[in-house]
Structure 1
């Protein structure tokens, strides 16, 4: 199959991890290899929009494979990607627990590289090829299809108008919008818009975003836009 997929590989055994990562990369996959749970969490947080599948060893330092699987299933962006447990633990209860946590497949070590690749390709074929459209800055995710905002794994309860303003600003972070620009964009979306001011909508949006409200800046005398100090996060 033609591969334009990124795989999160969590494996603390250097020789095994290097062999599998190299094998998959030769077949056209991009592999993000984490040698422990902390590094896996970092990849999930920073590269969530790129991930298509995860291969997890259960026994790894800091956060084990089960914890990593749980984080994936609770994450707003990667919660639907296939998860494959690859582990030397062969007790049936471990396999059952892994599947109950949301794993899609379970391979016992030792396993041939070709067998692992076959399982990976089978899982990817079952996936919906249409991935959600996401915009991410810092800890904030916008799901452009569902019209939802998440901060880390928490869904933020925005009004439709607040979401539309956030989407304008996050999709075009180099642009500053005047109040009239924003009003023109949202007036058809919210019939009550003329009963409120744009300033109130932006204030409420920032309050709901808490610490991440810093990403939206007031440009005095102009309007609102993305805080350019954070464009390189």
Structure 2
């Protein structure tokens, strides 16, 4: 089955936004619509791993399109996606500023629906295949290729053992692991490891996760795993 790309559309004029979203959905895209900047940032936080392209109006309430573009370019998952500014502001300085912020394209309004679609498809064709496989839980993003963990845009500096522990939990979110199972996963044949070692590594990982530390839960008498109460599926 052909993969449906997902577009983040940020446009404060509801009627044109809905018209464009409906057209793109008929043309086999998924569309996430935000009518202001706060809604856009909330979608980025919750659904970053789904978004393939962003279409941003510059003049939207609360957080403008330029700032949203800045956030996208700093985001661990979204930094490489195509960004299109779709806006009535057609002065040259705005176009230059948008491109300097990292936008890939700039379409002045009014623009035909087919023109927007053509620009989206052109940018998607130019995209390189993703080098990373991302797993997201809450504000945390795990890059299983680059072996990194991020909290929103900030990389968390982990030891190799802490990363192995995070990866175990993220790849198997419904599992609860006993200390013995965790030891077998993180253990080194050259070292003696003990149950207490697991507790220390989990504690250190939680400390580094900061406000997101409740992602990892202690299941009394069983062991550790992701907090399933936070991620009901």
What are the residue-to-residue correspondences of 1:185-204 with 2, within 5 Å? 185-188=185-188, 194=193, 197-204=197-204
> Within 1, Cα distance between the matches of 2:210 and 2:112?
49
Aligned: 1:225 with 2:190: no
Map of 2:104 onto structure 1: 104
Contact 1:186–1:193 (Cα < 8 Å) also in 2? no
Map of 1:34 onto structure 2: 34
SS at match of 2:98: helix
TM-score by length of 1: 0.92
SS at match of 1:182: helix
Query: How large is the RMSD of aligned CA atoms in angstroms?
Result: 1.9
Contact 1:38–1:63 (Cα < 8 Å) also in 2? yes
Given the superposition, is the C-alpha separation of residues 215 and 185 from structure 1 closer, same or farther in structure 2, using an over 3 Å criterion? same
Aligned: 1:13 with 2:13: yes
SS at match of 1:229: coil
Aligned: 1:53 with 2:53: yes
Given the superposition, is the C-alpha separation of residues 3 and 89 from structure 1 closer, same or farther in structure 2, using an over 3 Å criterion? farther
Deviates more, 1:46-55 or 1:19-28: 19-28
TM-score by length of 2: 0.92
Per-residue displacement from partner, 1:108-130 (whole Å, max 9, x unpaired)?
11221111111110000011233
Q: Which portions of structure 1, spanning 4 or more consecutive aligned residues, are displaced by more than 4 angstroms? A: 190-193
Given the superposition, is the C-alpha separation of residues 191 and 6 from structure 1 closer, same or farther in structure 2, using an over 3 Å criterion? farther
Q: Provide the aligned length of Structure 1 versus Structure 2.
A: 231
Contact 2:131–2:145 (Cα < 8 Å) also in 1? no
> Within 1, Cα distance between the matches of 2:112 and 2:119?
11
Distance apart, 1:70 and its partner CA:
0.6
> Within 1, Cα distance between the matches of 2:3 and 2:117?
12
Distance apart, 1:193 and its partner CA:
6.7
Please list every run of 5 or more consecutive structure 2 residues that lacks an aligned counterpart in the other structure: none
Given the superposition, is the C-alpha separation of residues 122 and 206 from structure 1 closer, same or farther in structure 2, using an over 3 Å criterion? same
